[in-house]
């Protein structure tokens, strides 16, 4: 029995060490050293080449190294009968909670304006809003969005979230479905996107959606770049409807050199680093699922291909 993992070269050693400790009974193979394909039962992958998973005849489960699984659905030969498991692990969750908290605090405390003032050697105090006046709305109140919402609530921000199904998170207002989106948007001074990429969420953050936010709202993009109509976002920033944006994901990554986001005075650009899976903590989640599959139980966090996440 073998497990193949495909990750970036720098973290390959950390993955191998963590697997070796917790899965001594499984042979580990680091892609592209595939070996005998018929011996591989588990694949732990990020952006596998199209057709690779289909070439493994005994595959029992595919583990995505990232929370998003759009990199797998992009493979036209993805074996549909094999369970796909998205990444839910403590390190990724903590990292995203840190990122969303940091981004919201930066916007709340006018850090983009202060950065610009510093570049111009300009000394001026900007008035501070109390947190209770800054309402934060999270698009995607799932695993990551829910934890971020709890952390933000701890700073005294009124927090709400939007998802397909209603959630019960203490102190967090839950809005569900298309019909409740306008009300959710109208109370979001800072809008955070943590949605998965699906046909329903692609191009969803457009001029119409942004027009539903309060005047001067700001935006944090950490879901997927294809959810955002970038020209509409730039128009909203240029016209002053939006006061700032912290963007971690883009339609095209790496962000092309000619993109206007790079030197937009209201924007902070990050290279898709909001959070990263930590091999030391992620291996525990993967091993737990392998053991479940081995004893015939359903794996946790299996992707529903109908829903697309
Ligand atoms: P989950 O599946 O736990 O949560 C997704 C949430 O989005 C759920 O609340 C779901 O609603 C909601 N949702 C999905 N589709 C719709 C829709 N059409 N309308 C309304 N709500 C919808 O995922 P995670 O929280 O684990 O991850 C979310 C995303 O974050 C990932 O898919 C990935 O794209 C992104 N990500 C980005 C990272 C980065 O570094 N930038 C790192 C990690 C993740 P419901 O609960 O009702 O199903
Ligand atoms: C992602 C991740 O899905 O890094 O972007 O987990």
pLDDT at 10 over 90: no
- In this predicted structure, the answer to whether residue 203 has a pLDDT above a threshold of 90 is yes
In this prediction, residue 275 carries a pLDDT of 98
Q: Is the CB of 224 under 6 A from ligand 1?
A: yes
Q: Please tell me which residue in 224, 251, 291, 295 is annotated as part of the active site.
A: 224
Residues in Cβ contact with 4 at an 8 Å cutoff, skipping those fewer than 6 apart: 29, 30, 31, 34, 40, 42, 43, 44, 45, 56
Instruction: List, in order of start, the domains of the chain with CATH numbers.
Output: 2-89+277-294 (3.40.50.720), 91-269 (3.40.50.720)
CA–centroid distance, 304 to ligand 1, in Å, is 13
Does 264 score more than 90 pLDDT?
yes
Ligand 1 center from residue 196 Cα (angstroms): 4
Q: How much distance in Å is there from the Cα of 201 to the middle of ligand 1? A: 10
Asked whether residue 9 carries a pLDDT value surpassing 90, the answer given is no
Per-residue pLDDT tens digits for 14-72: 999 999 999 999 999 999 999 999 999 999 999 999 999 999 999 999 999 999 999 99
The percentage of the chain sitting over the pLDDT mark of 70, rounded to a whole number, equals 100
Question: Is the shortest distance between the CB of 249 and ligand 1 below 6 Å?
Answer: yes
Q: What is the pLDDT of residue 8?
A: 84
Q: Burial level of 8, CB count in 10 A (0-12/13-18/19+)?
A: exposed
Q: How far apart are CA 233 and CA 243, in angstroms?
A: 11
C-alpha 46 – ligand 2 centre gap (Å): 9
Is the CB of 140 within 6 Å of ligand 2? no
Give yes or no for residue 142 CB within 6 A of ligand 2: no
Question: Count of alpha carbons within 13 Å of 172, Cβ hemisphere only?
Answer: 30
Q: Is the CB of residue 249 below 6 angstroms from any atom belonging to ligand 2? A: no
Cα–Cα nearest to 264, from 233, 226, 220: 233
Whether residue 11 has pLDDT greater than 90: no
């Amino acid at each position: 029995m073998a497990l193949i993992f495909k990750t970036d070269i720098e973290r390959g050693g950390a993955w191998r060490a963590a697997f070796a400790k917790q899965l001594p009974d499984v042979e580990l193979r680091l892609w592209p050293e595939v070996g005998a394909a018929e011996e591989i039962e588990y694949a732990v992958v990020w952006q596998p080449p199209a057709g690779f998973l289909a070439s493994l005849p005994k595959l029992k489960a595919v583990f995505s190294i990232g929370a998003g699984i759009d990199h797998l659905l992009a493979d036209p030969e993805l074996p549909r009968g094999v369970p796909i498991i998205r990444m839910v692990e403590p390190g990724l969750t903590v990292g995203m909670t840190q990122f969303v908290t940091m981004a919201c605090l930066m916007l709340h405390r006018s850090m983009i304006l202060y950065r610009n003032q510093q570049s111009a050697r300009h000394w001026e105090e900007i008035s501070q809003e109390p947190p209770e006046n800054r309402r934060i709305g999270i698009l995607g109140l799932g695993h990551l969005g829910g934890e971020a919402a709890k952390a933000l609530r701890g700073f005294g921000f009124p927090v709400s979230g939007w998802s397909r199904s209603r959630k019960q998170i203490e102190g967090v207002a839950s809005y569900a479905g298309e019909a409740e989106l306008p009300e959710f948007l109208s109370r979001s001074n800072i809008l955070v996107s943590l949605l998965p990429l699906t046909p329903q969420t692609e191009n969803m953050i457009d001029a119409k959606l942004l027009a539903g936010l309060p005047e001067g709202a700001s935006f944090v993009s950490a879901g997927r770049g294809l959810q955002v109509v970038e020209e509409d976002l730039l128009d909203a920033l240029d016209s002053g409807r939006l006061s700032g944006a912290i963007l971690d994901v883009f339609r095209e990554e790496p962000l092309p050199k000619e993109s206007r986001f790079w030197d937009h005075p209201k924007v902070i650009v990050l290279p898709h680093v909001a959070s990263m899976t930590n091999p030391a903590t992620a291996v525990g989640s993967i091993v737990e699922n392998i053991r479940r599959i081995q004893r015939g139980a359903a794996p946790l966090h299996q992707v529903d291909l109908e829903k697309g996440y």
